Structure 1
Amino acid sequence: MKSQFLKMQLDANKAFIVFVVMSLLLSVLISVMLVGREASSVLNGYKQQASETEAKLSAKYIENFLETRILLLKDLSSQPFIINGVMGSGVSEASLNDYLSEFKILGIKEKLWIYNVLGDYVYKNNDEQAVLETPSDWLEDLLNGELSHAVLLDHNQAQSYFKLAVPINYNGFTEGALIVKFQTPIDVLLSEVLESNTHGVKLSGPWLSYSNLSTLNKYDLVLESNLQSSGLKLSYLVDSTLVEKQVNQVIISIATAIFC
């Protein structure tokens, strides 16, 4: 009788322990489901908002970068010594050399070329070729007075650089072209405003196509923006897989905390 009572008591203790464990697991599960769903919604909303802000910042940054330099180059191309240099005066070409040998744009000595209306070099401060395409439609259009500027892309050692070209005008006629390659890689420029490793950017234009997207990732489009002054279009994308992983990691951390 006593042994039977003890057995019943043990069974009751076991049942109570099972009840406590199951209640704990059930409460954790319910909490994780409720909190996790809310956390997922909030985090996804935050990620979307942050991505849109980054997208607008990157578009504005690139637009301002190009617009400022286009204006500076147009101002430089209108200087008398530049105009006289492309029109063939030997004295003017010498003064052109003297002035531009140490010329800097916003504190940086950029690579620079000057062509005359025939498409021949008048001046350059480096050993690279400014025009690699054959034929160079953009240069022909520039020298024919059909373009106010051209935004180009230069590839060198797995890096991409902006190259800008503006016409050299005199009395309403185009006398040559000024071309500058900027030494800061586009990836570095974008890193000034893009801190997240989940982003991807595409730039496209008449003579330019740039992308830092990985072929291994899946991206969702966040924003498309036309950069008015440069004539380019910027597309900002986010790696949806990586964002989902980050959200899941946060939910797992919350679940672990609740369980503890």
Structure 2
Amino acid sequence: MKTKFTLTSNRAFYTFLGLTAIVSLLLSALFVGLRANVIVEDLVKETNETQAQLAVNNLTQYLESRKQILSDLSLHPIIVNGAMGTGLSAAKLRDFMRSFQIIGKEEKLMVINILGDVVYANFDSHEVLDQKPKWLDKVINAELGSAIDLAQVGNLHYFTIAVPIYYNGFAEGALIGEFSTSLESLLSSSSSTSFHSIGLKGRWINFSNVRKVETYFSVSSLDVGSTDLVLDYRVDKSQVTDEVKMFVWDLIGAIAFGLFLSFGLLYLFGKQLLLNPFKKLEESRTTLKRSEERFKLAIFGSDDGLWDWDLERNAVFYSDRFKSLLGFSQETQALFSAHISSLFDRVHPADLPI
């Protein structure tokens, strides 16, 4: 047995709510998906450009301050005389350097004369000399104003800075400092090992903290102050993709929650303010229709002629039986207008009200 489907006010209301919610969610997801990739990539780029600038500022401040301290120290008479090997210079140099600190820390320092001999060192000088750095002779001979190198110790990397020692404008040796703060700790506040990749290039340095550089894309390449170093700040491509997906799903979730809340309120208040009054109106119409049908049945079943005068609209209802009693046939009843004058015109003048 087939049942006929009828769209009642309840079903119409719920169908409207459901379809509106689905269409709103789909459209929101579509537009969000189209724009999210660009928005998130721009956001990631701007954020990481700021982090790259922070990393460069940290490195610049660290390297330039220590290079300047070494440059000033190389001009001190005790350092110059120690490099030249005059008089009691070696003993004075040891006494002077024994308690010397650079920005509150005792760092590894070494003085080399013009012949390449170590005049003073507070650490094992072979750590530097055995590596035979290419910059050493150039600094000793003042072919370079300074040199910055990076040495690996275990899993960490440490800076070495060298400056020439002058006397009356002539090169007399070099002052070398190995610093105890690692590059990784300097960059820790502006990068994470899983999300970022740092590249540092210079005349004597070619450093990268990851092997597969192709899985990253460069966000910013910046000069590290007045040094010859350039920092390349990179971001993991897969991380950016994941960030986009997370952003899209979070946004869709927020939109879905907002729509659910809105339609929930619409369901509650709409049912009270729209659906219930509409249902009452529908029930009233049904009741009125049934009453009219019963009235028509009563009229057709009666042999009396009925008429009803609506004083507000000044309109009169005349039943077919009433018209036939006045001599109107089925074909001519349409000529009997629905006005009170149609009745008064057919009443004897003596029966009319005075």
Q: TM-score, normalised by structure 2?
A: 0.65
CA shift at 1:210, angstroms? 1.2
| Cα-Cα RMSD | 2.7
Of 36, 47, 50, the match for 2:47: 50
Q: Distance in 2 between matches of 1:256 and 1:8?
A: 39
Greater CA drift, 146-155 or 206-215? 206-215
Partner deviation per Cα, 1:206-233 (whole Å, 9 max, x = no partner): 2111112352761112222233521112
Greater CA drift, 37-46 or 239-248? 37-46
Q: Which runs of 5+ in 1 are unaligned?
A: none
SS of alignment partner, residue 119 of structure 1 = coil
Q: Which runs of 5+ in 2 are unaligned?
A: 258-354
Checking the alignment, whether the CA contact within 8 Å between 1:130 and 1:179 is kept in structure 2 is no
Of 25, 30, 48, the match for 1:33: 30
Q: Distance in 1 between matches of 2:52 and 2:255?
A: 35
Q: Distance in 2 between matches of 1:247 and 1:61?
A: 30
Greater CA drift, 136-145 or 117-126? 136-145
Larger RCO (alpha carbons 8 Å, 6+ apart):
1
Q: Distance in 1 between matches of 2:94 and 2:84?
A: 14
Checking the alignment, whether the CA contact within 8 Å between 2:141 and 2:173 is kept in structure 1 is no
CA shift at 1:21, angstroms? 5.3
Of 128, 131, 135, the match for 1:130: 128
Of 5, 8, 15, the match for 2:4: 8
Alignment-mate amino acid for residue 132 of structure 1: D
Checking the alignment, whether the CA contact within 8 Å between 2:40 and 2:243 is kept in structure 1 is no
Checking the alignment, whether the CA contact within 8 Å between 1:217 and 1:239 is kept in structure 2 is no
Structure (1 or 2) with the larger CA radius of gyration: 2
Output aligned runs, 1:173-188, within 5 Å. Answer: 173-188=170-185
Q: Distance in 1 between matches of 2:66 and 2:103?
A: 9
Of 238, 242, 247, the match for 1:245: 242
Number of corresponding residues: 255
Of 117, 138, 141, the match for 1:141: 138
1:155 equivalent in structure 2: 152
More strand by share: 1
SS of alignment partner, residue 255 of structure 1 = helix
2:232 equivalent in structure 1: 235
Percent identical pairs in the alignment equals: 36
CA shift at 1:90, angstroms? 5.5
